[in-house]
């Protein structure tokens, strides 16, 4: 598995291109902006994009979806809670005709890679974390040393704590690929992330 991270847009959203090196099939995760930059990488390495996966529907993670999906004619996947029917405001909803919906426990195949969907709400109603091999693509749920904002209309502090607790209980030491900022590891976040530590301690009380 090859993981390429590309910072896009003025909020420096991490877009990830995850490739099965045997088949060159790839998934594009959170193409938030700069479709030309993303497409240049795909074309330069002669990759075969199979799908766009969205960790959530906020504008800074979906800005290049239409351009890429239309050019490549590939499906777009998102949790339905972050689509039009599930959102409270125009700012925090995603709409594209023909979008596919995944839910907790689904496994999506890209080449020989399998992406397991975990629903991890808190930053938005429909936030998900995608697990593939030793990698965790957690959008704006978990950051290095922090977590995503919960003060938007579709945020929920209690749900965020439940999601961080759920991630903390995963047995594997996943490589953490967040929606913004530096990469990390799950073991590091279990030891040093104050929000995850708070979630773990509260469960024991």
Calculate the average pLDDT of the chain.
Answer: 93
Mean pLDDT of 130-135: 98
- Between CA 53 and CA 51 the distance in angstroms is 6
Task: Write out the residue range of the structural domain in which residue 27 sits.
Answer: 2-204
First to last CA, the chain: 40
Predicted structure pTM score: 0.94
CATH, residue 70? 3.60.15.10
Mean pLDDT of 179-188: 98
- Higher-confidence position of 90 and 140: 140
pLDDT surpasses 50 at 87: no
Half-sphere exposure of 54 (CA within 13 A, CB side): 35
Secondary structure class of 75 (helix, strand, coil): coil
Burial class (CB in 10 A: 0-12, 13-18, 19+), 197: middle
Cα distances from 179 to residues 55, 61, 97, 98, in angstroms, run 8, 8, 24, 24
Number of domains observed in the structure of the chain: 1
Local confidence band at 84 (pLDDT 50, 70, 90 cut-offs): low
């Amino acid at each position: 598995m090859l993981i390429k991270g590309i910072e896009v847009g003025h909020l420096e959203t991490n877009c990830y291109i995850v490739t099965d090196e045997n088949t060159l099939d790839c998934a594009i995760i959170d193409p938030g902006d700069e479709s030309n930059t993303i497409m240049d990488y795909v074309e330069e390495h002669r990759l075969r994009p199979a799908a766009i996966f969205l960790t959530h529907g906020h504008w800074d993670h979906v800005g290049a979806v239409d351009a890429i999906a239309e050019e490549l004619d590939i499906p777009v996947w998102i949790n339905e809670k972050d689509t039009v029917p599930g959102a409270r405001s125009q700012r925090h909803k995603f709409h594209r005709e023909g979008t596919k919906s995944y839910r907790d426990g689904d496994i999506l195949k890209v080449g020989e890679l399998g992406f397991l969907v975990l629903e991890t709400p808190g930053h938005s109603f429909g936030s998900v974390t995608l697990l593939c091999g030793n990698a965790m693509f957690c959008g704006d749920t978990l950051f290095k040393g922090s977590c995503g904002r919960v003060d938007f209309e579709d945020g929920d502090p209690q749900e965020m704590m439940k999601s961080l607790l759920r991630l903390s209980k995963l047995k594997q030491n996943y490589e953490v690929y967040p929606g913004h900022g530096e990469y990390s590891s799950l073991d590091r976040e279990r030891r040093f992330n104050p929000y995850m530590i708070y979630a773990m301690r509260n469960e024991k009380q």
